[in-house]
Chains A and B, each alone.
Chain A
Amino acid sequence: MISSVMTATLCGPDTELIRVETDISQGLPQLSIVGLPDATVRESKERVRSAIASSGCDFPLRRITVNLSPADTRKEGSHFDLPVAVGILIASEIIDPALTEGSAFFGELSLNGGLNRAEHGVALALGLKEKGIHSIFVPDGSIGEFTNIDGVSFYAASTLSEIVDHLSGLKPIVPAVFDFAGGWGGGDGAHATGSGCGAEGGGASPCAAAVAVCGDFAEVKGQERAKRALQICAAGRHDIAMYGPPGSGKSMLASRMPPILPPLSRREILEVTKIYSIAGRDPYEGRTVLGRPFRAPHHSISAAALVGGGSRPRPGELSLAHRGVLFLDELPEFERRALEMLRQPLEDRYIDLSRVGYRSRYPCEFILIAAMNPCPCGYYGDPTHECGCTERQRRRYASRVSGPLLDRIDLHTRVGRVEYSELSDTERGSCSSAELYAGVVKAVGRQRERNSPPDGAEASAGAEDEGEARFTYNGDLSASDTEKHCALTGEAERIMRSAYDAYGFSARQGKKLQRVARTIADLDGSDEILACHITEAISYRRPKDILGDAEG
């Protein structure tokens, strides 16, 4: 007989439903797999043969043909082992086909019949859910990855024989159903900054948990202005560039960002988990990504690793930082080609990777934190160290980062050297992460109310989000929304106009500053952008004579 079992394969960021058809017919004992399998899938027949035998079932000694349909899509991954095995078992009438209706399978088989974790589990499960699959059979070892996916029953098994027993009714597996309202999100990531939308979960604040890992802003002394700038970034999803001499605390400041970021919403958690799943990397060791990612690639990174690439494009650091922070330390040391690739994603917040036969669009809504020295020796503008660089050296260093790239960054601030007296001065207040976080949560709340699309537009698309409104961070407001939400009136408008003349802003810089001012007003709890908000925003403009603009 011919059997048919469902599984899936990845095509870029999308999942394609794959039907595994198995035919057992008369002929010499042989197992052939057709339908564009890659080497891993082709090798699966050896694993399947041994696994079935080890599970106490008979491997049919007849001619077996497995077809992976649609036949023109490339199939890759070791997760095809389980569906192929189940297909053979159905075709040899060991399992009743009716029991696998609406189910999908993925998992890698061991020769002894055990089930191993396969890559891309979450991405596949999310895709299958969209395609109307209601039960998924997965390896026991990777069940932890799926805790954020609701509406699907997960049957976790550690061996093939457990699945056979379940499907033949001998020993049913209790499905794991994850329900957001109920119990998911035990905060199993040490990195977790949020245990759900709104962070209402009682007990310690998510910020405190993350502070234990990342460190507290209170430990950074004498950099209140930089902290304020980072708070604005966290609240409104703005990008920032910090300039300063070595040892002034740029990296220290950046690494303390995760705790003050707003908690991830459910939808965001799924987005992030999916990207990590597609990347096939698992920095969270099988746990769901609950905290906002913090990516700090070394400056030797290649362009492809930064933006994503490969013949079947995989997400790069840009997308791995989605909904989190991308920290580029020593910006001018990065490969020029890699940096220039940031231009379009910084503007559009997604990246299209086009290869022959594939076009993958990955999101990259991260907060960019760029840090750099003002000159090769690092001490230009420092009041105590003498800068030993010539004008030409400075200019060459500066020209490694292009003007258009810096133009796309919302906030700019210098981070100065801190005197010893300031470090030891206990009277000087030092703003803590908890204080900053409280401000961010408040400001995000205001944005959620104001920047949500009008009712109805998203009602159908976000229906399953159970009232969790989609909203845009101030930093991502479109041109028309900027007009609407960031309007300047009276005194603020007057100040902005004279600032345009005084500092020669480009239209883009002006709009960016308006959005930054909106976030500052949100942090202040103000409905209108007041004069003090726009002036503070203007102070974060791109300095004229630092990197990139030697014309002074």
Chain B
Amino acid sequence: MNMQNSAPGGEARYGEAISGEQYGSLGIEDSGYPKALRGIADPPPRLYYMGKLAALENPMVAIVGARRATDYGRWAAYNLAHRLSERGVAVVSGMAEGIDSFAHKGALEGPTPTIAVMGNGLDICFPKSNLALRERIARSGLLLSEYSEGTHGTRFTYPARNRIISGLSIATVVVEAGLSSGSLITAEYAAAQGREVYAVPGNINRKLSVGCNKLIKDGVLPLVFLDDILDDLGLRTKAKAVRRGKAGTVGMLVGEKRDPAPYDISCAAGMGELGADEVLVLGAVCEHGEMTVDDAAMLAKLSVPTVTCAVTLLEMKGYVHFDGGRIMVAN
């Protein structure tokens, strides 16, 4: 392992911001160099890093997607990342705007460090708006790049780093993507590298779902439950133990796979945690999909205040996601 703890001239500007953090570089021959990455067709000869190298010891899953994300995509990225992090999986992404940022943010809420792979030198923050996020990742996670300090990103470097994102990970999840999205490049790399690829399905009338849906058509695994991926990685049992330990916390039920049928309302009600109104509202939302409070009131034949009330309770119990306008089932 080649640790360079003395700051070369180029890094000095950022020396203060990252004081106490480790930074340096790994050659492909170094023992710390991620094994998974060594096996890909075109591994970077040298990896520059900032943060905790220990992050590379966890199983890694990449979450990538569009920069112009919808609420749905942000929600999916955030929650999936959070869930993975809680199960000890390191989330890898590219720290771009949109899905990438939300994946990192979700992962930072969990205990496992997250890994950001940059398409520029580590002393440059791109996009600038993610300065705070970059700081958080550098402190508790890991920033990686194949480019040395001072290298600015170009239209070639960002697609190129996607091979590292997929190469590091056992699986890659595409959350939202248009037809010409860079995330599709990542998915291609992952498939070529023999890694698992998942796509989060979306509505067929949305531009940002086309990429994902097309991936599914081409044979990529659809992510139907947030926990699918944990099952496939064999992390489910561990997950259960963690969850039991924190049972009762608000939001714990988000994304939990409910057996036998996940949307069996009678089953949920049987758990004794839902009131009659909540069951009606949840039933309507499950059946008809995303809707407004007004729609739910009409479908469930309840008054608007009653529905509002039920929705808030459902949200706090983690069954739905409510943004002040539309109600969405929280998987």
Contacts and interface: CB of A to CB of B under 8 A. Distances in A.
A413 B323 CA distance: 9
Nearest to B249: A501
Q: Which of A391, A524, A538, A546 has the most CB of B within 10 A?
A: A391
B324 A520 contact: no
B159 to A, nearest CB: 19
A65 B265 CA distance: 92
Interface stretch (A164-172, A200-208, A223-231): A223-231
The interface centre, meaning the residue of B105, B325, B326 with most chain A CB atoms within 10 A of its CB, is: B325
Interface stretch (B38-46, B116-124, B300-308): B300-308
Contacts of B101: 552
A391 B326 contact: no
A539 B292 contact: no
A413 B67 contact: no
B290 A391 contact: no
A157 interface: no
B71 interface: yes
B122 to A, nearest CB: 22
B181 interface: no
A414 B311 CA distance: 15
B129 A391 contact: yes
Contacts of B322: 539
Contacts of A223: 294
Bin chain B's interface residue count. 35 or more
A552 B102 contact: yes
Interface in A505-540: 520, 524, 532, 535-536, 538-540
A535 to B, nearest CB: 4
A414 B324 contact: yes
Interface in B293-331: 293-294, 297-298, 304-306, 308-309, 311-313, 316, 322-326
Interface residues of A, number: 46
B19 interface: no
A545 B78 CA distance: 12
Interface stretch (A6-14, A306-314, A380-388): A380-388
Candidate in A387, A389, A540 with the most chain B CB atoms within 10 angstroms: A387
Contacts of A305: none
Interface string A124-140: 00000000000000000
Contact of B68 (A389, A412, A538): A389
A498 B250 contact: yes
B256 interface: no
B249 to A, nearest CB: 8
Contacts of B105: 551-552
Contact of A552 (B70, B78, B311): B78
Interface string B24-39: 0000000000000000
Interface in B119-144: 127, 129, 132
B11 interface: no
B306 to A, nearest CB: 7
Contact of A414 (B78, B290, B325): B325
Contacts of A387: 68, 70
A502 B97 CA distance: 25
Contacts of B78: 552
A272 B34 CA distance: 73
Contact of A224 (B129, B297, B313): B297
B207 interface: yes
A316 interface: no
A186 interface: no
Contact of A532 (B205, B208, B306, B324): B306
B206 interface: yes
B74 interface: yes
A502 B129 contact: no
A381 B74 contact: no
B305 A536 contact: yes
Contacts of A545: 71, 74, 323
Given A391-B129, A501-B250, A552-B78, A244 B298 contact: no
A391 B98 contact: yes
B59 interface: no
B251 interface: yes
A546 B326 CA distance: 13
Nearest to B294: A224
Given A391-B67, A392-B97, A502 B250 contact: yes
Contact of B312 (A222, A228, A535): A535
Interface string A378-418: 00010110111111100100000000000000001111100
A539 B308 contact: yes
B210 to A, nearest CB: 11
Contacts of B313: 495, 535
A391 B312 contact: no
A551 to B, nearest CB: 8
A122 B250 CA distance: 57
Contacts of A243: 324-325
Nearest to B96: A391
Given A389-B68, A498-B250, A228 B326 contact: no
Nearest to B251: A502
A198 interface: no
Contacts of A462: none
Nearest to A523: B305
A543 B316 CA distance: 14
B76 to A, nearest CB: 13
A387 B70 CA distance: 8
Interface string B229-250: 0000000000000000000001
A418 to B, nearest CB: 9
Nearest to A228: B304
B319 to A, nearest CB: 13
A377 to B, nearest CB: 11
A392 B74 contact: no
A197 interface: no
Given A416-B292, A498-B250, A539-B322, A225 B67 contact: no
A222 B294 contact: yes
Contacts of B324: 243, 412-414, 539-541, 543, 546
A499 interface: yes
Given A391-B97, A520-B305, A536-B309, A384 B323 contact: no
Contacts of B70: 381, 387
Contact of B293 (A225, A495, A499, A538): A225
A347 to B, nearest CB: 23
Interface in A346-391: 381, 383-384, 386-391
Nearest to B106: A552
A535 B307 CA distance: 10
A495 to B, nearest CB: 7
B272 to A, nearest CB: 15
Given A244-B325, A535-B308, A540-B324, 4 more contacts: A228-B308, A391-B97, A413-B325, A498-B250
21 contacts: A224-B304, A225-B304, A227-B304, A384-B205, A391-B68, A391-B69, A392-B127, A413-B325, A428-B298, A502-B251, A502-B316, A520-B305, A524-B305, A532-B309, A535-B312, A536-B309, A538-B312, A539-B309, A539-B311, A545-B74, A546-B323
Top 3 A-B residue pairs of the complex, sorted by shortest distance between their CB atoms = A414-B325, A391-B97, A535-B312
Interface of A: 222-225, 227-228, 243-244, 381, 383-384, 386-392, 395, 412-416, 422, 428, 495, 498-499, 501-502, 520, 524, 532, 535-536, 538-541, 543, 545-546, 550-552
